[in-house]
A and B are shown apart, each in its own frame.
Chain A
Amino acid sequence: MKSRTIAFCGVLTALALILSYVESLFPLPVGIPGIKLGLANLVVFLLLYIAGPWHAFAVSLARILIAGFAFGGMYSLLYSLSGGLLSFAGMVLLKRSGRFAPVTVSICGAVLHNVGQLVMAGLVLENTGVAVYLPPLLAAGVICGFVIGLLGELLRARVARAFRSPNASSEDNQ
Chain B
Amino acid sequence: MSAGDSLLGGLSCWLVPIVFGMGLLHLGVRLREVQVEDSAAYSYASARQSVRRVRLAGLRGRILDRNNRVLADNRMSVSIVCHPVYFQRRTWKETTEGISAAINGCAAVVGKPSPLTAHRIRRHVDQALALPLFVWNDIGPDELARFVEHERDLPGFGLVEVGERVYPCAAAASHLLGYVGREHIASDAGDERFHYSFPELCGRAGVEAYYDSYLRGVPGEKKVLVDARGFAMREWTVIEPQRGPDLKLTIDLFIQRLAERELMGVQGACVVLNPQNGEVLALASAPGFDPNAFVPVLSQKLYDSYAKDPSKPLLNRASGGTYAPGSIFKPVTALAGLAAGYPAGERYCCDGLFEIGDMVLHCSSRWGHGELDMRHALMKSCNPFFCNLAADIGTNALLRAARAFGLGSKTGLDLGTDNAGVVPDADWKQKKYREKWYVADQIQMSIGQGMLLVSPLQMALVAGAIGTGQLVIPHLNSVVESPSRPLPFTESQLSVVRDGMRMVVAGDGAGRGTGWRGGDRVRVAVSGKTGTAEVGSGKTRRKNTWFIAYAPSERPTVAIAMVVENGESGGGTTAPKVRNILAGIFGETEVAR
Please determine whether chains A and B interact with each other in the same assembly. no
